[in-house]
Amino acid sequence: MKSGLIINFYGHDALDVGLIEINRIKRNGELQTFEFHLCKTKDFHEFKKNIKEKRRTFLIGEENGVRSFELLVDENGYGTFRYPEWGDRTKEFEDYVLSVKNKVKFPSLEKNDLKNAVNHYVNNELKNLPENLADDESLHSLKEIYFREFQSEQNLKKGEYCYLAFRDWLLENTSMVDVDRA
């Protein structure tokens, strides 16, 4: 297993902030998870774009006006992660960034309720994409495929489904349009 950082963002669109989850996979395979709140959605998307384009970038989290973490990444994808410990101490480690994903979480619900919630989410996401993205039949098919993949057992952890955000899923699974520019 490759060591490095896996960065996941769980946005809350109504508040324009989200939860950042940073997973560090050590050389021995041990997984260390760090969760921080209140990273601005706009800042995360800029950070992700800069990494994709191999530019130096940073992401800073704050809670109640206090810096909760710093993540600095160079153009080669090598990151420095700093976070506070008890008192005035700050810990730091460096490693390569393996992935940066925008994800969504839904509680484990009855299948029909989950499908309705995911459909509502996808419909809201589609409002932010170009109108000519696809015809109605293709959109229906995409929504069905997304839901089928979304509700697989491997995405169910601790009573929640956790999966790629619809826009990121489209980028990874279709060649219809560059939804990143939308």
Amino acid letter, residue 44: F
* Stated pTM of the model: 0.79
CA–CA separation, 125 and 154 (whole Å) = 23
pLDDT tens-digit readout, 110-123 = 888 999 999 999 98
Number of H helices, E strands in the chain: 4, 9
pLDDT above 90 covers a percentage of the chain that reads: 30
Average pLDDT value for residue range 85-89: 76
Q: Report in angstroms the alpha-carbon separations of 75 from 21, 55, 69, 123.
A: 22, 5, 20, 35
What DSSP element (H or E) covers 95?
strand 90-107
Q: CB neighbours (10 Å) of residue 125? A: 18
Report DSSP state, residue 75: T
Tell me, what's the pLDDT at 181? 44
Q: CB neighbours (10 Å) of residue 71? A: 24
Tell me, what's the pLDDT at 14? 67
Beta bridge partners of 95: 79
Tell me, what's the pLDDT at 61? 77
Compute the Cα dihedral for 158, 161, 163, 165 and give only its sign: negative
Tokens of 33: 């998870």
Across the chain, the runs of DSSP E, i.e. the strands, are 4-12, 17-25, 31-40, 57-63, 66-73, 78-84, 90-107, 156-157, 160-164
Residue 131 has pLDDT above 90, yes or no: no
Q: Tell me which of 136 and 99 has the higher pLDDT.
A: 99
pLDDT above 70 covers a percentage of the chain that reads: 89
Tell me, what's the pLDDT at 28? 92
